[in-house]
Structure 1
Amino acid sequence: MESEPDKRFQEPVMISLDQGGPIAVGSTRQATDLLLTQWPALRGPRHRDAVDACLKVQDGHRSTVDARNAFIEAAEEAGILAGESAH
């Protein structure tokens, strides 16, 4: 099985989790991993949308811009967006 491509964001998204300082999320693979394994307890509709967008980018059905924007919205929803990660 081929490993999925690492689709890079044009600019990283900065988030802040409990485990320390800010994290620069620079790709859909990294975003998907964080969304599925390290996300805070609050997983609302924006979290679900971000997971969907990131997975669709990996399949070639969405753009990295869509995934980045969805990830930003999920981070805002969870209260973990750090810095100025503008749309």
Structure 2
Amino acid sequence: MQRVGVINWHGGKDFAPLTLVVGDRAKPRLIRSLREVAEVLIVAWPTDDGEEYMAAVKACLDAIYGNIPAKAARDALIRAAEEAGIPVIAIAH
């Protein structure tokens, strides 16, 4: 675990990439870092409502600041996508 207060935009080995199909054009969006999680939640998300969405935003911020593992933010993003009806494609290593 990282020190509290250290900003981590990447997530490191703890963040397995995934693809979301977000937006009107349904163009797949590859998510490989906490920065990309934040961008998709703030810029491309179809709604700013929903319990899982709010939990994902909080989890993303917590992971960026090193308070929780990046995997927890990734898991929260997947739950928010399921809540919003956004297809998720997990990438296997």
Please report the RMSD computed on the Cα atoms of aligned residues, expressed in angstroms.
Answer: 2.1
Flag the structure with more relative contact order, 1 or 2, with Cα contacts below 8 A and sequence separation at least 6: 2
Offset at 1:85?
6.4
* Distance in 2 of aligned mates of 1:43 and 1:85: 27
- Structure 1 residues 8-87: aligned runs within 5 Å: 8=11, 10-17=15-22, 18-41=24-47, 43-84=49-90
Alignment identity in percent? 33
CA pair 5-19 structure 1, distance change in 2 beyond 3 A: farther
SS in 2 for 1:11: coil
Unpaired stretches in structure 2, ≥5 consecutive residues: 1-6
Offset at 1:42?
6.0
* Distance in 1 of aligned mates of 2:25 and 2:34: 21
Matched to 1:60, the amino acid is G
The alignment's TM-score, normalised by the length of structure 1, stands at 0.80
